[in-house]
Structure 1
Amino acid sequence: MPIYRCKKCGFVCEDAQTPINTQAACGRCGTPSTVYGTVYFVEELVKRLTIATRELQTLKAAAEAAAPHPAPASPGALTSAEQHAPLLQWFAARKIEAQFDYANVDTSGFFDDAAQRLGDNYALFGELIDRVRFAYRKSHSWVNLELGKLPQKDAQAINQLCRQLYEHTFFARYHYQKPEKIVRLTLQTAPAVRQFFDGGWLEWYALMCLLEHARERAAGFSCARGVKVVFPNEDLHELDVVCLPTGQPPICIECKSGEFRRDIDKYLRLRKRLDVDRSRFLICSADLTQEQAAGLSAMYELSFVNLQTLKDHLQRLM
């Protein structure tokens, strides 16, 4: 049922008589108020509540980070303010405001597992990612994969992955036509899944690689994904994946599942503003060959890696 909230007196009321997106007089004070659909109204309330909660968590983390020599956060509590506090303090010491979404490192779901499956066998699963991403961008609701021309082992692996992704709700429907060897997938409409296929999977993959090496080699660490950083002149940037091993400078990974060459100069300036060594500021592209990554690293004061060289590079850093 349509609903409105008066901006003047705060009165909330249902209004079945007034069309959505038009104005009705407030039942309490008479002030004209816009009428919204109930679903839209509730979604907006949830968004504002989420933003307020995040701001409160950031303030709490800042207060905790102000304590002298904070202990490294426990790797097992990735979504806590305490885990993010060392990173928050590192940025604050450079007069940079860092804004975190703690849920971005929540590994209790299936995003991290799916990303590792895709990244560890990108040569085989890369086309699936591209097909799904293309379908989303063209507003298509389905994808058909013809597996008949593939080697039997590869076809079975792709089919098995699609079925598992469906079981974990990455697809709304899955059907395998065995005689024709065609996988029919109906896309999931949830924004989080669309963002995953649109490049989020690579951020998750980089995060899990960082966590693997940090847990094995670092005495402690703080990590985050999708960090918004605001410089003193109010310039806003977003860092895809960041890890701060105890006693070391941070490692920043920018993840690129599409074209990135036009952004090289932007990343050069960002690295210098953060004062991070070129070896610790990585541009990870799934489509680079090892020769291309080595060549770009020699040309620019950045480290370019692909999915095969990412882990080796991290091993050398920690």
Structure 2
Amino acid sequence: MNEERIEALLERIAVALETLAGLRDDSKRPTKGLTGHSLATELGGPSDSAPPASQSRAPLLQAFLDSKGIQIRQVPAEDSADQVIDSLSLYLGEHYDALSGLLGKIKRAMQNGLPIMESLKNRSQQDINSACQFCTRLHEVAFLEQYQYFRSPTYLIKAKPTTLPRAQRFFSGQWLERFLLQKIKSVRSQLAAQVNGHLDFEYLINPEVILPNGDDFELDILAAIGSSIYWIEAKSGDYQRYVEKYSRFSRVLGLDSAHSMMVLADVSDDRCDALSSLFSMTVCNLRSFEDRLLSVARRDTAHQSAAADGQSPAPED
């Protein structure tokens, strides 16, 4: 009898422990449908943190992700240094052919702050001017601790990158994301001027999200021009292991290849076309990105305008 009572007691203890473990796991699991704030907020209770400001300014993108069962975990706050970073990024992107070699040396040396040398002998005067101007600007914001240019007959840049995390983040790929964001804004401005009116625009840059299966994912840029959604990923280095992954994720978003784009800094037009034909994304480089996006967004805007006027959209070329 005593043994039966002991067994029953042990069984009750085991059930209680399993229940407590389940409650603990549930408390750690993200609550589906709640983004950027706690369950207590939804129930009228206090919240430890407010939704990120950039998230609250993107209701269309928020609704789009919600419709796919994707939760926003975090959106980086705007930084007071963004304007400086954007200016450097735009200059680097628009002079990339002249600066790619210099950038590669900086990236290899920045982990330990070793000095670098870049020979500009036999380079065009335009390339020399671009390299010197870029290094001067990097030195002004302390992304280069040292910088010196030796004129004719040496034509040599000597510089020492800083090891500051902000500079490392910029050189490692932030510059490409910020460059593309400015090109997206340019496309929106061009289209707004063409339609002679207001054109809604939202974007999220580097949002951390939770996929429907519970996996974490970070997007580079998600943008809305009018009512159309565009997802853009940027890669300034090895891209091979990402193409298939991003191609699968585009299906999670439900976006076709025209609205899912990967931008590669060091890939030719022919290689971009080949990759685009193999995967469900549009692959392009720095030179072709703005034109590709403008073409798709112009068509989307025309369709939206025609639908608003009750007209049939014009046939595509």
Fold shared, TM-score > 0.5 on shorter chain: yes
Percentage identity across aligned positions?
A: 24
Equivalent residue in structure 2 for 1:217, among 191, 194, 219: 191
One-letter amino acid matched to 2:219: L
Distance 1:272 1:81, change over 3 A: closer
One-letter amino acid matched to 2:251: K
Task: For 1:303 and 1:107, locate their aligned partners in 2 and report how far apart those are by CA, in whole Å.
Answer: 31
Tell me what 1:236 maps to: 216
Tell me what 2:173 maps to: 199
Instruction: Report how far residue 296 of structure 1 moved.
Output: 1.3
SS at match of 1:103: coil
* 8 Å contact kept, 1:257–1:287: yes
Task: For 1:59 and 1:217, locate their aligned partners in 2 and report how far apart those are by CA, in whole Å.
Answer: 35
One-letter amino acid matched to 2:230: I
Tell me what 1:24 maps to: none
One-letter amino acid matched to 2:37: L
Task: For 1:262 and 1:244, locate their aligned partners in 2 and report how far apart those are by CA, in whole Å.
Answer: 27
SS at match of 1:186: strand
RMSD over aligned Cα, in angstroms?
A: 2.4
Tell me what 1:261 maps to: 240
Equivalent residue in structure 2 for 1:227, among 207, 212, 217: 207
Task: For 2:271 and 2:157, locate their aligned partners in 1 and report how far apart those are by CA, in whole Å.
Answer: 34
* 8 Å contact kept, 2:263–2:284: yes
Distance 1:122 1:79, change over 3 A: farther
One-letter amino acid matched to 1:258: G
Instruction: Report how far residue 107 of structure 1 moved.
Output: 7.1
Task: For 2:277 and 2:236, locate their aligned partners in 1 and report how far apart those are by CA, in whole Å.
Answer: 21
Tell me what 2:57 maps to: 83
Number of residue pairs the alignment of both structures matches: 244
Task: For 1:96 and 1:221, locate their aligned partners in 2 and report how far apart those are by CA, in whole Å.
Answer: 21
One-letter amino acid matched to 2:127: D
One-letter amino acid matched to 2:36: T
Q: Give matches, 1:37-186, under 5 Å.
A: 58-59=36-37, 80-98=54-72, 99-103=74-78, 108-137=82-111, 139-178=112-151, 180-186=154-160
Tell me what 2:263 maps to: 284
Structure with the largest fraction of strand? 1
Structure with the largest fraction of helix? 2
* 8 Å contact kept, 1:223–1:243: yes
One-letter amino acid matched to 2:289: L
Task: For 1:207 and 1:79, locate their aligned partners in 2 and report how far apart those are by CA, in whole Å.
Answer: 18
Tell me what 1:245 maps to: 225
Larger radius of gyration: 2
Task: For 1:115 and 1:131, locate their aligned partners in 2 and report how far apart those are by CA, in whole Å.
Answer: 17
One-letter amino acid matched to 1:103: E
SS at match of 1:309: helix
One-letter amino acid matched to 1:243: A
Deviation digits for residues 53-99 of structure 1 (CA, Å, limit 9, x no counterpart): xxxx9339xx89xxxxxxxxxxxxx9644323332232123221112
Distance 1:133 1:116, change over 3 A: same
Task: For 1:168 and 1:267, locate their aligned partners in 2 and report how far apart those are by CA, in whole Å.
Answer: 34
Task: For 1:79 and 1:314, locate their aligned partners in 2 and report how far apart those are by CA, in whole Å.
Answer: 27
* 8 Å contact kept, 2:263–2:289: yes
Tell me what 1:70 maps to: none
Task: For 1:81 and 1:235, locate their aligned partners in 2 and report how far apart those are by CA, in whole Å.
Answer: 20
Instruction: Report how far residue 151 of structure 1 moved.
Output: 2.9
Distance 1:312 1:152, change over 3 A: closer
* 8 Å contact kept, 2:54–2:204: no
Structure 1 runs not aligned, ≥5 long: 1-56, 65-77
Structure 2 runs not aligned, ≥5 long: 1-34, 43-51, 193-198, 298-317
Question: TM-score w.r.t. structure 1 length?
Answer: 0.70
Task: For 1:80 and 1:260, locate their aligned partners in 2 and report how far apart those are by CA, in whole Å.
Answer: 28
Instruction: Report how far residue 152 of structure 1 moved.
Output: 3.2
Task: For 1:152 and 1:287, locate their aligned partners in 2 and report how far apart those are by CA, in whole Å.
Answer: 23
* 8 Å contact kept, 2:110–2:162: no
SS at match of 1:272: helix
